């Protein structure tokens, strides 16, 4: 029986290390926040918002002037009071930092997502931006990284409309303390087109 003791000790050590590793991983990642569905019947989409993220009534807007843009909705982790405060000091740029945005545009010409994302008049252009094909919500899409308006944006074409779903990560001094780029990425990745 002494022969099996080293093997039992080895297995016990492996189990202990794996449990310690799981505990250490949980401690560094923290608890997973529950998400809440946000459904926009006006713009025709849904996203999942983690924890304290909310739609900003101040930064979101519908456009009723006949342009191609229908509107945009902005998601922030800032409280209403904090958002109001940063709009005044240091200014609007701070309120638009660390936000997720969903825009809907009219697409009467039926442009592909890639054609829209690479047109400098429609999507803009920034030196060093990267544009690649991808899929989001089962739709062929274009992903723009380091573009002119967003850190990461997806262009998603759907039946005469173009969605631009992205997030902005700007100056670190404007970062809300609880905002994370992984939360922003999760909001964008959860995008779902509604009829």
If pLDDT is split at 50, 70 and 90, which confidence band does 32 have?
Answer: low
- Contact indicator for 132, 82 with CB cutoff of 8 Å: no
Look-up of token digits 């297995």: 11
Token pair, residue 136, equals 């989001």
8 pLDDT above the threshold of 70: no
89 pLDDT above the threshold of 80: no
Token pair, residue 165, equals 């779903």
3 pLDDT above the threshold of 70: no
Cα 132 from Cα 103, distance rounded (Å): 19
> What is this structure's pTM?
0.81
pLDDT in tens, 131-187: 999 999 999 999 999 999 999 999 999 999 999 999 999 888 889 999 999 999 999
Cα 103 from Cα 72, distance rounded (Å): 4
Cα 65 from Cα 192, distance rounded (Å): 26
- Contact indicator for 168, 96 with CB cutoff of 8 Å: yes
Domain ranges of the chain: 1-31, 34-193
What b/e readout covers 86-115, taking b as 16+ CB neighbours within 10 angstroms?
Answer: bbeeeeeebbbbbbbbbbbbebeeebbbbb
87 pLDDT above the threshold of 60: yes
What is the CATH code of the structural domain delimited by 34-193? 3.40.1000.10
- Per the prediction, the chain carries an average pLDDT of 85
């Amino acid at each position: 029986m002494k022969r099996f003791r080293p093997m039992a000790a080895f297995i016990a050590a492996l189990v202990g290390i794996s449990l310690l590793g799981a505990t250490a991983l949980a401690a560094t990642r923290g608890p997973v926040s529950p998400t809440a569905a946000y459904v926009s019947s006006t713009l025709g989409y849904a996203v999942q918002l983690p924890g304290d993220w909310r739609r900003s009534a101040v930064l979101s807007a519908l456009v009723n002037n006949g342009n191609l843009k229908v509107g945009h909705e902005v998601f922030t982790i800032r409280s209403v009071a904090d958002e109001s405060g940063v709009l005044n000091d240091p200014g609007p740029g701070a309120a638009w930092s660390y936000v997720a945005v969903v825009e809907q545009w009219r697409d009467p010409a039926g442009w592909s997502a890639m054609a829209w994302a690479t047109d400098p008049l429609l999507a803009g252009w920034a030196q060093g931006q990267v544009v690649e094909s991808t899929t989001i919500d089962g739709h062929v899409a274009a992903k723009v990284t380091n573009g002119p308006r967003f850190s990461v944006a997806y262009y998603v074409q759907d039946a005469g409309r173009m969605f631009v779903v992205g997030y902005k990560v700007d100056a670190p001094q404007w970062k809300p303390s609880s905002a994370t780029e992984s939360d922003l990425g999760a909001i964008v990745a959860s995008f779902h087109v509604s009829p």
